Structure 1
Amino acid sequence: MKSFNDKRNFYRMMLNREVVVTVIDDEANANIAATCRDLSATGMALEMEQPIELGTHIRIKVDSSGEQIQALDARGKVVRLEEESDNCYLLGIAIEEID
């Protein structure tokens, strides 16, 4: 049973891991470095130096930390954007597909 403070359907795993973000909606498909703060079955929080607009579709690649763990390649949509400080943005990503 979930506690009053945690109304999420899935637990979040704290990662603090470097990831590569590709903006799918952008013709250039530029790769952007980011840090994945946490990950759950349906979403993740990314820390970046530049904002990405709400509703933008992105691809996120998280390299494996070892041979026994498969790399994560997911597609999602930006559903939350917060400016934490100068050149530091926190993005909430809804995962739409995992390859």
Structure 2
Amino acid sequence: MVNYDDKRDFYRMMLNSDVSVTIIDDEANSTIFATCRDLSATGMAIEMSHPLELNTNVRVNIESSSATVQPLDVQGKVVRVTEESTDTYLIGINIAEID
């Protein structure tokens, strides 16, 4: 199923949702608030004010605005970090597990 314009295996759903990102590799399990720009079956892109290191293990939680839809809680690894502007970074996360 590689018929999309960007040659991806899964379609990306464009979002603009607030998320909490917990850094699992950090002894304190630091939590950072960010914005999820897009989501697919295997990954997501989040926008935040500072970069994360490549290969950092994270847990990302997207709360639901509806009582009928469960929140999304995933674990993954940082696979891409792009500086878009001063204090704006786009972080690519490969999803390893969905809870």
TM-score with structure 1 setting the length: 0.95
One-letter amino acid of the structure 2 residue matched with residue 60 of structure 1: V
Deviating more after overlay: 6-15 vs 39-48: 6-15
Taking only the aligned residue pairs, the percentage that are identical comes to 62
The alignment of Structure 1 onto Structure 2 pairs a total of residues equal to: 98
Which residue pairs with 1:6 in the alignment?
6
1:30 is displaced (CA, Å) by 1.0
The structure 1 segments of at least 4 consecutive aligned residues displaced by more than 4 Å after TM superposition are: none
Which residue pairs with 1:87 in the alignment?
87
Q: Determine whether 1:97 maps to 2:91.
A: no
Q: How far apart, in 1, do the equivalents of 2:75 and 2:48 lie?
A: 17
Which residue pairs with 2:39 in the alignment?
39
Q: How far apart, in 1, do the equivalents of 2:53 and 2:31 lie?
A: 16
TM-score with structure 2 setting the length: 0.95
**RMSD value over aligned CA atoms?**
1.0
Per-residue CA deviations over 1:13-60 (Å, capped at 9, x if unaligned) read 011100000000000111101000000000000000011000000000
Gaps of 5+ in 2: none
